[in-house]
Amino acid sequence: MSVADPKARQNARILCATCEIGAASAAGSGHFCPFVDRSRQAGELIYLEGEPANHVWFVKQGIIVLLRKGGENNAEGRVRAVRFPGSFIGLEAVVTDRYIDSARATTDAVLCGTTREGVDTWLGKKGAPARTALELTLRAESVDLPRRAPPDGNAVERVAAWLCEEGPRGETLTLPRRIVADLLGMRPETLSRAMAILAERGAIEVSRTNLRIVSENKLAELASGGSLPSS
Amino acid sequence: MSVADPKARQNARILCATCEIGAASAAGSGHFCPFVDRSRQAGELIYLEGEPANHVWFVKQGIIVLLRKGGENNAEGRVRAVRFPGSFIGLEAVVTDRYIDSARATTDAVLCGTTREGVDTWLGKKGAPARTALELTLRAESVDLPRRAPPDGNAVERVAAWLCEEGPRGETLTLPRRIVADLLGMRPETLSRAMAILAERGAIEVSRTNLRIVSENKLAELASGGSLPSS
DNA sequence: CGGCAATTTGAACATTTTCAATACGGGTGG
DNA sequence: CCACCCGTATTGAAAATGTTCAAATTGCCG
If phi > 0 it is left, if psi is from -120 to 50 it is alpha, else beta; for residue B227 that is left
In chain A, what residues touch B151 (CB-CB under 8 Å)?
Answer: 181-182, 185-187
* Domain at B155-223, CATH class: mainly alpha
Record: contact B88-A7, CB cut-off 8 A: no
Question: Domain coordinates of chain A in residue numbers?
Answer: 34-142, 155-223
A177 touches strand D (CB under 7 A): yes
- Write the pLDDT tens digit of every residue in A75-113: 568 999 999 999 999 999 999 999 999 999 999 999 999
What pLDDT is attached to residue A2?
36
What pLDDT is attached to residue B32?
78
Whether A42 shows a pLDDT value over 80: the answer reads yes
Q: How far is the CA of A186 from the C1' of D28 (A)?
A: 39
Whether A8 shows a pLDDT value over 70: the answer reads no
Nearest one of A121, A130, A128, A197 to A159, comparing CA atoms: A197
In chain B, what residues touch A122 (CB-CB under 8 Å)?
Answer: 129
What pLDDT is attached to residue A210?
86
Whether A134 shows a pLDDT value over 50: the answer reads yes
Record: contact B3-A212, CB cut-off 8 A: yes
* Residue in chain A nearest B132 by alpha carbon: A24
Whether B159 shows a pLDDT value over 70: the answer reads yes
Which nucleotide C1' is nearest B43 CA?
Answer: D7
Q: Percentage of residues in chain B with pLDDT exceeding 70?
A: 87
B227 touches strand C (CB under 7 A): no
Q: Transcribe A21-57 into DSSP letters.
A: HHHHHHHSSS-S---EEEEE-TT-EEE-TTSB--EEE
Q: To the nearest whole angstrom, how far is the Cα of B27 from the nearest Cα of chain A?
A: 6
- Name residue B38's beta-bridge partners: B111
Whether A126 shows a pLDDT value over 50: the answer reads yes
Give the whole-angstrom CA distance, residue B54 versus residue B56.
7
Q: Percentage of residues in chain A with pLDDT exceeding 70?
A: 87
3-state secondary structure A49-99: CCCECCEEEEEEECCEEEEECCCCCCCCCEEEEEECCCCEECHHHHCCCEC
Record: contact B123-A138, CB cut-off 8 A: no
Whether A7 shows a pLDDT value over 80: the answer reads no
Exposed e or buried b per residue across A76-109, where buried means at least 16 C-beta atoms within 10 angstroms of its C-beta: ebbbbbbbbbbbbbbbbbbbeeebbbbbbbbbbb
The whole-angstrom distance between residue A85's C-alpha and the CA centroid of its chain comes to 19
The pLDDT of B125-138, averaged and rounded, is: 95
Nearest one of B210, B200, B214, B223 to B71, comparing CA atoms: B223
pLDDT band at A5 (very low <50, low <70, confident <90, very high): very low
Protein-covered nucleotides on strand C (Cβ within 7 A): 6-11, 15-20, 24-26
Record: contact B106-A168, CB cut-off 8 A: no
The pLDDT of B22-50, averaged and rounded, is: 83
Which nucleotide C1' is nearest A187 CA?
Answer: C17
pLDDT band at B121 (very low <50, low <70, confident <90, very high): very high
B156 touches strand D (CB under 7 A): yes
- Write the pLDDT tens digit of every residue in B189-200: 999 999 999 999
What pLDDT is attached to residue A11?
61
Give the whole-angstrom CA distance, residue A16 versus residue B163.
33
Average pLDDT of chain B is 86
pLDDT band at A229 (very low <50, low <70, confident <90, very high): very low
Which nucleotide C1' is nearest A180 CA?
Answer: D9
What pLDDT is attached to residue B16?
77
Give the whole-angstrom CA distance, residue B79 versus residue A154.
20
pLDDT band at A180 (very low <50, low <70, confident <90, very high): very high
Whether A157 shows a pLDDT value over 90: the answer reads yes
Report the range of poorest mean pLDDT among A39-43, A90-94, B136-140, B171-175.
B171-175
Whether A4 shows a pLDDT value over 80: the answer reads no
* Residue in chain A nearest B120 by alpha carbon: A130
What pLDDT is attached to residue A23?
83
Record: contact B129-A6, CB cut-off 8 A: no
In chain A, what residues touch B9 (CB-CB under 8 Å)?
Answer: 169-171
Report the range of poorest mean pLDDT among A172-186, B14-28, B85-99.
B14-28
What pLDDT is attached to residue B29?
59
Record: contact A149-B150, CB cut-off 8 A: yes
Let me know if B7 is exposed, middle or buried by CB neighbors in 10 A (0-12, 13-18, 19+). exposed
pLDDT band at B71 (very low <50, low <70, confident <90, very high): low
Whether B12 shows a pLDDT value over 80: the answer reads no
Q: How far is the CA of A158 from the C1' of C16 (A)?
A: 13
Which nucleotide C1' is nearest B190 CA?
Answer: D18
What pLDDT is attached to residue B10?
52
State which of A8-17, B82-91, B158-167 shows the largest mean pLDDT: B82-91
What pLDDT is attached to residue A18?
81
In CATH, which of 2.40.40.20, 3.90.1300.10, 3.40.50.1100, 2.60.120.10 is domain A34-142? 2.60.120.10
Whether A166 shows a pLDDT value over 90: the answer reads no
In chain B, what residues touch A125 (CB-CB under 8 Å)?
Answer: 27
